[in-house]
Structure 1
Amino acid sequence: MSRLVGIVLVALAALLGAPARAHKPSDSYLTLAVDGERIEGHWDIALRDLDFAIGLDADGDGRLTWGEVRAHHADIAAYASARLAVQSDGQPCTLAIGEQLVDRHTDGAYSVLPLQVTCPRAPERLGLSYRLFADLDPQHRGLLQLQAQGLTRTAILGPQAPTQTFVLTEASRWRQFLDYGREGVWHIWIGYDHILFLLSLLLPAVLAWRDARWRPAEGFREGLLDVVRIVTSFTVAHSITLSLATLGVISLPSRWVESAIAASVVLAALNNLFPVFHGRRWMVAFGFGLIHGFGFASVLADLGLPQGALLLALVGFNLGVEVGQLAIVSVFLPIAFGLRRSWFYRRLVFVGGSVAIVLVAGIWLVERAFNLQVF
């Protein structure tokens, strides 16, 4: 039992230590197209991140002008090129950065760096070493879209996976499916708002609402069935909106979606403290799952959708999300069931955890709804 307590303490500490800003972290977008020994593409890097890293705001007025950005083109190119390396079958390739442009993404202005890569030979195994902002932001991600052999691959680069190798001669639909599935798993594991929403629904799964209070569930089967209903409802709901948004049937502003996701986490955790849907939490999971599906769709769009394999990418990513969710459930549920009768679980984990989730998600809601940075 003491070992279980230690595990849950570590999990709770990790939850409370999650960054206050979530779901729209520091991202860059790296697009590469392989054509023999030559590789061309572009690298979109947020100007706000570059300003923090090398200082672009010359007059310190808090606003970046085109003149300030253009004056630092050489600095931006040098900073970026020193943090990206390309290898062809283990041999280094030469990277050249052209004259930058500026483009806008949903979260602000980006410097667009044209890339030309020359390799000793046409690569069969393409290696990428990515270290952008690794010393400044451990949550930074590089969203890669790699076009080769007539197929589009995707990957997430960053401090957790700075070096990756792509076997271009093994390009296949099955490999493409697995790539998107892997990104779905990874997105759940780094999507703190989705994790906290899921945990808010899982915390009461080993308890039962009787006599106007939460009491320990009698058996594991009762809690397991509750979790199955919740996860199934959430899965069906976000699959619907993920598909509709990805196919372009419905489109909502990113700011609305991210704010609504934060609100869903707050309300789900508050329902633990002041139960309203204690017997119908699957309905809460379904209703808010529709909103979370739009959030998943924005990530899938950022990764780049191959038009020739749209359904393959959609199904692979969605299944990856489910695998990531089931991994969290399989770890959490047995531990929670073993501790459900203890004061530690009922007071510290259940009540204290729900309060902590409300506070963290409340900060996200304020930041997203009013475009502020609280911390």
Structure 2
Amino acid sequence: MLLALFFAQVLPAQAHKASDSYLSLTVQGERIEGQWDIALRDLEMAVGLDTNGDAAITWDEVRAHHEAIGAYALARLQLASGNQPCPLRVTQHLIDTHTDGAYAVLRLQGACAAAVTTLDVDYNLLFDIDPQHKGLLRLTHGTTTSSAIFAPDARAQALQVATPARWRQFTDYVRHGVWHIWIGFDHILFLVSLLLPAVLVRRDGKWQGRETLRASVIDVLKIVTAFTLAHSLTLTLAALGVMTLPSRLVESAIAASVILAALNNLWPLVHRWRAAVAFGFGLIHGFGFASVLADLGLPQGALVLSLVGFNVGVELGQLAIVLVFLPLAYALRRGLFYRRVVLTGGSALIALIAVVWLAERVLDLKLLA
């Protein structure tokens, strides 16, 4: 049961970053201009860009589908103001590269019947194909910038142009942070690898169940606190542009951290120093979290609020995982099933999955379908 809880969704995961699109809109009076970045891999699922079926999407194939891409996208984005529609049109097609691959870039123009004070946005891109998809919106009016996150349960939103709802923006990013940690399988498996021995103690070269729940809780608190402090530090530095690392290096290092944490359960070399391991590798994981916010490209003022909300969401997501994990692990700790199947077998499985991730990220392959 414990293994199923943590690994049931891992095998189909092939990448750290979930499906997102990036929509930037600038409102000036009744006029609207913008840009919409949509991943080519997502458009391939929706429109079918790979004409020759060679698993490589070329510029010629994208260009041949410009009309279909524009029609598909605009049919799933409606803007309105004062109960009057604000029709959009695509003025230019481009290609750009984000941290997770190539994106089609649609330059947009539109107009409303009168000057916009509240913009009603109805976003439905890819939800019928990928229920995990998110639409990240940056809305600019003069010097004021706000943001919103669209999801299957938040498709339609009314956004104040001049005085954006800061609390709503904060709570949107809290929710996004929670969701990101839950679908960030590499982060979850790293944390689980460190938590698996928390209900055990190493004596005479053997694992034995801890005597009290209090001891296990203290061990978990040390690990989670160290991980939180570390990734919060580098997430903040990276998101504010103080320090950045290449995406492939970060994602590869995250996969390597999962491997090492899992192998340490099989050959415990640093059992008593797992909190230090959590802090050290947590610094790398923070750069991974930052990539989600970096692609949105928010200006400094809005980024700080979004960063705090996102970080709070990540911590809440971690807390939910711990609250599910710890009681189950503690209840099973004394049995041979936990030591051999959950700890040993689970750690071996985690290491194997992470090895595949590492190969994918270092060699730019796609091994897990």
TM-score higher than 0.5: yes
Match of 1:256 in 2: 249
User: How many percent identity over aligned positions?
Assistant: 60
Match of 2:122 in 1: 128
Match of 1:195 in 2: 188
The one of 316, 320, 327 aligned to 2:313: 320
Match of 1:81 in 2: 74
The one of 354, 360, 364 aligned to 1:371: 364
Question: Aligned ranges for residues 1-375 of structure 1 at < 5 Å?
Answer: 8=2, 10-17=4-11, 19-60=12-53, 62-88=55-81, 92-119=85-112, 122=116, 124=118, 126-132=120-126, 134-147=127-140, 151-158=144-151, 160-161=152-153, 163-168=155-160, 171-374=164-367, 375=369
What's the Cα RMSD here? 2.6
Counterparts of 2:159 and 2:21 in 1: how far apart (Å)? 23
Q: Does the CA-based 8 Å contact 1:97-1:116 persist in structure 2?
A: yes
Q: Does the CA-based 8 Å contact 1:89-1:127 persist in structure 2?
A: no
- How far residue 218 of structure 1 moved from its aligned partner, in angstroms, is 0.6
Q: Deviations over 1:155-175 (max 9, x none)?
A: 4434x4461424427624444
Counterparts of 1:348 and 1:89 in 2: how far apart (Å)? 60
- Distance verdict in 2 for CA 1:352–1:60, change over 3 Å: closer
Counterparts of 2:219 and 2:109 in 1: how far apart (Å)? 54
- How far residue 338 of structure 1 moved from its aligned partner, in angstroms, is 2.0
Give TM-score scaled by structure 1 length: 0.87
Q: Does the CA-based 8 Å contact 1:205-1:227 persist in structure 2?
A: yes
SS class of match (1:303):
coil
Counterparts of 1:48 and 1:22 in 2: how far apart (Å)? 12
- Distance verdict in 2 for CA 1:313–1:49, change over 3 Å: closer
Q: Does the CA-based 8 Å contact 1:143-1:155 persist in structure 2?
A: yes
Q: Does the CA-based 8 Å contact 1:16-1:356 persist in structure 2?
A: no
- How far residue 365 of structure 1 moved from its aligned partner, in angstroms, is 0.8
Counterparts of 1:174 and 1:276 in 2: how far apart (Å)? 46
- How far residue 253 of structure 1 moved from its aligned partner, in angstroms, is 0.8
Counterparts of 1:119 and 1:323 in 2: how far apart (Å)? 40
Equivalent residue letter for 1:290: L
Equivalent residue letter for 2:192: L
Q: Does the CA-based 8 Å contact 2:235-2:289 persist in structure 1?
A: yes
SS class of match (1:100):
strand
Counterparts of 2:75 and 2:298 in 1: how far apart (Å)? 29
- How far residue 303 of structure 1 moved from its aligned partner, in angstroms, is 2.8
Q: Does the CA-based 8 Å contact 2:262-2:348 persist in structure 1?
A: yes
Counterparts of 1:172 and 1:31 in 2: how far apart (Å)? 17
SS class of match (2:95):
strand
Bigger mean CA offset, 79-88 vs 169-178: 169-178
Q: Does the CA-based 8 Å contact 2:149-2:173 persist in structure 1?
A: no
Q: Deviations over 1:172-228 (max 9, x none)?
A: 444443333332222212211111111111111111111211111110110111011
Counterparts of 2:189 and 2:254 in 1: how far apart (Å)? 11
Give TM-score scaled by structure 2 length: 0.88
- How far residue 16 of structure 1 moved from its aligned partner, in angstroms, is 4.1
- Distance verdict in 2 for CA 1:45–1:261, change over 3 Å: same
Structure 1 residue runs of 5 or longer lacking an equivalent are none
